[in-house]
Chains A and B, each alone.
Chain A
Amino acid sequence: MRGKSLRLGAGSAWWGDRIEPAAALARQGRLDYLCFETMSEATMSAAQVRMRVDASYPGYDTYLDDRMYAVLEACAQNRTKIISNQGWANPAAAGARIIEIAREMGIGRLRVATVAGTVLQEFLASLNGVVFETNLPFQELPFQIVSVDPYLGAEWIVEALKQGADVVVTSRVADPSLFVAPIAFEFGWGLDQWERLGKATVVGHLLECAAQCMGGYYADPGYKEVPDLARIGFPLAEVDAEGDAVITKLPQAGGMVTAATLTEQLLYEIHDPAAYLTPDVVADFSGVQFQQLAKDRVRVSGGRGRPRTDTLKACVGCHEGYLAEDWFFFAGPGALEKAEYARTLLEERFRIVELRAEEVRIDFLGVNAVHGPISPRPASPPYEVGVRVAAKGRELREVNKVVREVDAMAVCGLAATGKRVPPRERVREVIGLHSILIPRSQVNVELKIMET
């Protein structure tokens, strides 16, 4: 810490996020910590599936090199520690790669900790919980299980920091925990100080989606204007010893920090604001207040917390079948009528080939593909319409029938049909995700320390 408040920056919101805003924070943010969230829901199961079929894939973030080359040197120079969930399915390999990169850059004495959480194998056979989404027992899931990954909390990151880590790379953790851990560690909080952990969780939740709290996923021309959106930066928080904070940004970065941008992010992916469950605490956002202190400086206060639960959430990935998606398109006079006729043709073709699919959708891009049945009827004829066909089922042979019928529309369909000839892969495996609750004792965590 370089002052009374702790300076934390957001390094990324998800796997595909930009790299440069994190580099800017590393160079100019005078940060104590830079925290990267690099996953989406499907990341862990996709990584595990890929490891099984591709011996050259090590199992960690495919952008690990890009992100670390961009920030490691500046972080080492500025004594900024890095917390990152780029470990995915193989944190040890990610840690080893970061050590290699650090050595290559001539960074001496860098300590890298890896935290890998798994569910004990012997437990899976006797797991008694229910699946959130269906309320049915886990043991009755009718699918082949591909992966089970638990959401860890802050405590193992805190332990790694206690052991002197400069960089902590983890498997899946609850996103706010990436920020709660350094806050709790630096201020010496016990992990049973629920009120403080609740406040730190507010900070983590605001920062975990990076630009989304400061003008990203926000602009609505004529209603919500965002300055210099093309150069939007990532946020940083100045956190005090009780867990309240000021959210701000680099002066030269695009975007803006206001109560309105923060309120949209506060509620993002939240259900009951008074009871947001994380591995660390049951956080209460219902009393949060935002106070604009100056341009792009907003004070956050009023977060509360209650004791954490006895369980951890885990994500179960199951092989559920296959999904196909393709499209063709019309433009000019009668585009919508042609799309409707094409849909009728496809439905008849699916009957002729005796398609056995779990679900088929035929949407019209430009008319109803985004909002579905609530889309209004077009007020005037759309100039162009895309016919998007998607289907899923257990059997690959059946799902492939859909792709074959869509291909046939290029030559055996209507006039002026535009159709892209794929190389693009149109059929993919469905790894369906379910959530279960497991006792904390059934999660195994491996912590390793490495040095350059």
Chain B
Amino acid sequence: MATVKLRELAHTRTGDKGDTCNLAVIAYRLEDYPLLAEQLTAEAVAEFYRGTVTGPVERYEIAALGALNFVLHGALGGGVSRTLRLDNYGKALSSAILNFDIQMRKEGSP
């Protein structure tokens, strides 16, 4: 089965609130959204960011916009005001997930 980097299928953005980062993943084409929704689970994203994100991850869906919104707790080293991290706002964090491998379905399979 072919894999494709998420970067080919979606764009992303992060924002901060306290020690939490939200990560929006938005399909370039609406028809790719079901594949992303199936494979980019909260658990998959938590596993991908594990070590940099230290708390739980929740996921919200806005299917009509082709968007998944992940809330990453414990992502900012205590929050902008006190973190030792270089990227204190976490604004550079959204590009990491672009390397996630999405399994593409073969032609004709469900």
- List the interface of chain A (C-beta within 8 A of B): 40-42, 45, 132-133, 217-218, 220, 223-224, 259-260, 263-274, 285-290, 317, 320, 323, 325, 359-361, 363, 365, 369-374, 388, 390-392, 430-433, 435
Contacts and interface: CB of A to CB of B under 8 A. Distances in A.
B51 A263 contact: no
Contact of B15 (A268, A359, A360, A430): A268
Contact of A133 (B18, B60, B71, B96): B18
Contacts of B15: 267-270
B81 A430 contact: yes
Contacts of B11: 220, 223-224, 260, 264
Given A217-B91, A268-B24, A374-B52, A369 B13 contact: no
Contacts of B105: none
B82 A392 contact: yes
B62 interface: yes
B51 A373 contact: yes
Interface residues of B, number: 40
A267 B13 contact: yes
A304 to B, nearest CB: 13
Most A CB contacts (10 A, CB to CB) among B11, B26, B66, B86 go to: B86
A433 B92 CA distance: 22
A217 B24 CA distance: 13
Contacts of A42: 80-81
Given A260-B28, A268-B22, 16 more contacts: A45-B81, A220-B11, A259-B65, A263-B67, A264-B13, A267-B24, A267-B67, A268-B24, A325-B84, A359-B84, A360-B84, A371-B87, A374-B50, A374-B96, A432-B78, A433-B80
B2 interface: no
Contacts of B91: 217
Interface string B57-69: 0101010111101
A190 B20 CA distance: 34
Given A260-B26, A264-B24, A371 B52 contact: yes
Task: Give chain A's interface secondary structure class.
Answer: mixed
A41 B96 contact: no
B80 A263 contact: no
B47 to A, nearest CB: 10
Sort A-B residue pairs by CB-CB distance and give the 5 closest, nearest first: A373-B51, A269-B15, A267-B24, A372-B52, A433-B81
Contacts of B96: 371, 374
A41 B92 contact: no
Contacts of A374: 48-52, 96
A372 B85 CA distance: 8
Contacts of B85: 361, 372
Nearest to A222: B7
Given A217-B13, A363-B86, A433-B79, A290 B65 contact: yes
Residues of B contacting A: mostly:
mixed
23 contacts: A41-B81, A133-B19, A220-B11, A263-B24, A264-B11, A264-B13, A266-B65, A267-B15, A267-B69, A268-B15, A270-B22, A270-B24, A271-B20, A274-B60, A285-B62, A288-B62, A359-B84, A361-B84, A363-B86, A374-B50, A390-B84, A390-B86, A432-B78
A260 B28 CA distance: 8
Contacts of B51: 372-374
A363 B87 CA distance: 11
B18 A430 contact: no
Most chain B CB within 10 A, of A267, A286, A289, is at A267
A430 B13 contact: no
Given A260-B11, A370-B92, A391 B87 contact: no
Contacts of A264: 11, 13, 24, 26
Contacts of A288: 62, 65
Interface string B1-28: 0000001000101011111101010101
A286 B62 contact: yes
A72 to B, nearest CB: 31
Given A359-B84, A374-B51, A392-B82, A273 B69 contact: yes
Nearest to A45: B81
B84 A267 contact: no
B86 A370 contact: yes
Given A133-B19, A286-B62, A268 B13 contact: yes
B81 A371 contact: no
A320 B26 contact: no
A268 B15 CA distance: 5
